[in-house]
Amino acid sequence: MSKLAVLAIGGNSLIKDKQHESVEDQYDAVCETAKHIAGMIEQGYDVVVTHGNGPQVGFILRRSEIAHEAGGMHTVPLVNCGADTQGAIGYQIQQALYNEFKKRGINKNTATVVTQVVVDKTDPAFQNPA
């Protein structure tokens, strides 16, 4: 029976510093992480990866605002920025894992899943937020 590991990659962990915020820089960070994930798989783990997207959503919102102000482009709703980052970061993780698996001869597939959160406005937690 294989072991299961659930890994959470924080969106901030993909930003090394202010000089390395580009999509390419973030992909480099993902590639480093993929090496560790591949190592876990070689040790017999099945791995599920989840990730954050805080700074990435902020980047997309800012690009949207700048494009709107400078060129009259439409703005992008926050919900779409979230989906955009899920797809983009998920794609980067999937691509980096695929490449690392090929290097190591690991015969595994990866998949990216874009998720949605359902919030119940009558949830009692909203009456007394922590």
Taking only the tens place, the pLDDT of each residue in 37-48 is 999 999 999 999
3-state secondary structure of 71: helix
Q: Quote the pTM value.
A: 0.88
pLDDT one-digit tens code per residue, 93-120: 999 999 999 999 999 999 999 998 888 9
3-state secondary structure of 93: helix
3-state secondary structure of 117: coil
Confidence of residue 130 (pLDDT cuts 50, 70, 90): confident
Average pLDDT over the chain, rounded to whole? 95
Structural domains in the chain, CATH included, are: 3-127 (3.40.1160.10)
Nearest to 111 by CA among 37, 30, 48: 48
Q: What pLDDT, on the 0 to 100 scale, is given for residue 1?
A: 67
Residue 72 has pLDDT above 70, yes or no: yes
